[in-house]
Amino acid sequence: MADPEIPTLETERLRLRPLRDNDLDDYAALCADEEVARFLLRGTFSREQSWRVLAFQMGHWTLRGCGMWAVEEKETGAFAGQIGFADPVGWPGFELAWTLARRFWGRGYATEGALAALAHAFTVLDKERVISLIHPENHASRRVAERLGESPQGRTELQGKERLIYGIDRHDAPLWHRMAGCLKPYSAPSPPPVT
């Protein structure tokens, strides 16, 4: 199986880029934060568990051609969290998800990054429908889903825990359509010539 070519997306303030091995410290801190994990299926993770999940996420790109991106603040280069897709076997649909470190909450980053990912799902990945699975008490994530144009479409149970299903179909997505025209693939600067 060939290594996947993971695209990098840019928004005004964020870069959604492939996860890297040197993200482990920041990713493990994100996964260990009880407040961040409060509404997630998994709860908190140790550093070793975080590494295994990071490896799983990289494998998701290989097996499914999509997955989670690291969210990097363009101005500082700081690791802010992750945004992207989950589509494992047995999942209730093609999921768009987001998790940000607490110090980046309240800045609109989840909406900004998820909007870029949603545009990617509908244009590049040619998806007809995208869902987000949200804990019923996670009002902040529900607001993000609504800002994306997603609407409540039922409930499901995953790993013994209830989740609301928010969803959006390609033809019902005015925001992503406007955003798609603004997205440009990211190109890393060329290294200086060797003299």
* pLDDT(8) > 70: yes
**Averaged over 151-167, what is the pLDDT?**
91
Q: Which of 25, 89, 80 shows the shortest CA–CA distance to 56? A: 89
For residue 42, the model assigns a pLDDT of 66
For residue 172, the model assigns a pLDDT of 77
Contacts of 28 (CB under 8 A, 6+ apart): 45, 46, 47, 50, 51
Bigger pLDDT: 161 or 135? 135
Q: Which of 104, 112, 102 shows the shortest CA–CA distance to 16? A: 112
- pLDDT tens for each residue of 177-195: 555 554 444 344 444 455 4
- Name the least confident of 27-41, 133-147, 178-192: 178-192
For residue 175, the model assigns a pLDDT of 54
**What CATH code would you report for 9-180?**
3.40.630.30
- pLDDT tens for each residue of 88-137: 888 899 999 999 999 999 999 999 999 999 999 999 999 999 999 999 99
Evaluate whether 63 touches 57 at the Cβ level (below 8 Å): no
For residue 185, the model assigns a pLDDT of 43
Average pLDDT, the chain: 85
Evaluate whether 105 touches 140 at the Cβ level (below 8 Å): yes
